[in-house]
Amino acid sequence: MTESAASRVLTFDLGGTRLKSGIVEGGTGVVTGFEVTESAPDVESALAAVGTVGDRLRTATTVDAVGLCLPGLLADDGRVLALPGKLAGIEGRNISDWLRQRFGLTPTVRNDAIAFGVGEARYGAACGHERAVVVTIGTGIGCCVLQHGTPIGSGALGGGLLGGQIPIAPATGGPADTSGRHGTIEALCAAARIVDHVRAAGGSATSVPAVYTAWQAGEEAARRGIAAYQRDLARALVALAHAHTPSVVVLGGGPALPEAPLLVGLEAQVNAALWPGYSVAVVPAILGDRAALVGLAALACLPDARDRPGATAPIQ
């Protein structure tokens, strides 16, 4: 099965609270039957939801393969090696085997940040760039480093997946990342830190959307809080840029929507701290909730995506 065959791929992006699903025309990035449903906190209920949604989507058309992405570390055979704090009972489970048995299709299972990065690199904001770093901001920090639309490296730690664990401040307390460490990109730049900074500045917002509303209304605490968060995020992006020398850094996740206050002036801050003569574009992701599904399909339609570089046109 090759990318040019435009095979249809049944795709799932399984998170801690939401399940995003759709059928992707491989080689085009077009998603049909896209839907978002609630997930469950345990693996059996979550996989049952995948099965139910998949059966419903398959009634509309035939599919040639199936793909699923989720957070955490995954072995090449589809076993979940580590997924702290989400989907109780999933660690050690072979998701590839489950997909093959449940749907009778060839499975592709990847980390969600890797799938998101491939989607944006092949069809989204990083399309056409030789080297790209894609960062997603949420409960944690996802990271993917891509060359010609393909993740660098292989295995459970391939793709630049551990970018969020890079230390950018002294590990002397404060918030911790998902591995319990302080001072890392993930510890200082997870979405919750935006709210923390605003509240430390005297604001009362309890969510990122509320912070952005306050910022747009001119609230001084919101402006100071976002500026403080931006300083940490800029340091993070400088570290990733110096490590991987991309021409573009793509920011995804709820806080990084286009026109978000978070992005105002961020690129200038990053470039001011880079090696003289080197600069990087800092842009928002454009595929939204479909990015990981599109990336999964691109990976599923290649015999081994790590060995097949290439990029296609962005989705309009």
Is 127-285 in the same CATH topology as 3-116+292-307?
yes
In DSSP notation, 40-76 reads -SBHHHHHHHHHHHHHHHHTTS--SEEEEEESSEE-T
pTM of this prediction exceeds 0.85: yes
Mean of per-residue pLDDT scores for the chain: 92
Separation between Cα atoms, residue 222 and residue 228, nearest integer Å? 10
Q: Where are the beta strands (DSSP E) in 59-154?
A: 65-70, 73-74, 80-82, 106-111, 131-137, 141-147, 150-151
Separation between Cα atoms, residue 189 and residue 177, nearest integer Å? 9
Unique residue bearing structure tokens 């015999």: 303
- What phi and psi values does residue 170 have, to the nearest 5 degrees? -60, 140
Average pLDDT estimate for 46-58? 96
With H, G, I as helix, E, B as strand and everything else as coil, classify residue 313: coil
Query: What does the pLDDT read at residue 302?
Result: 63
CATH of region 127-285: 3.30.420.40
Q: What is the pLDDT of residues 2-29, one digit of tens each?
A: 444 448 999 999 988 899 999 998 778 8
Query: What does the pLDDT read at residue 48?
Result: 95
Query: Is a pLDDT exceeding 70 seen at residue 310?
Result: no
Unique residue bearing structure tokens 């962005």: 314
In this structure, the strands spanning 248-252 and 281-284 are parallel
CATH class of 3-116+292-307: alpha beta
Please say whether the beta carbons of 269 and 231 come within 8 A: yes
Query: What does the pLDDT read at residue 17?
Result: 85
Q: Give me 76's structure tokens.
A: 């090449």
Q: What is the pLDDT of residues 243-301, one digit of tens each?
A: 999 999 999 999 999 999 999 999 999 999 999 999 999 999 999 999 999 999 999 98
Average pLDDT estimate for 156-181? 93
Query: Is a pLDDT exceeding 90 seen at residue 305?
Result: no
Separation between Cα atoms, residue 269 and residue 274, nearest integer Å? 9
Q: Where are the domains of the chain?
A: 3-116+292-307, 127-285
- Least-confidence region, from 23-32, 87-96, 207-216, 304-313: 304-313
Separation between Cα atoms, residue 89 and residue 274, nearest integer Å? 43
281 beta partners? 248
Separation between Cα atoms, residue 248 and residue 295, nearest integer Å? 18
Query: Is a pLDDT exceeding 80 seen at residue 316?
Result: no
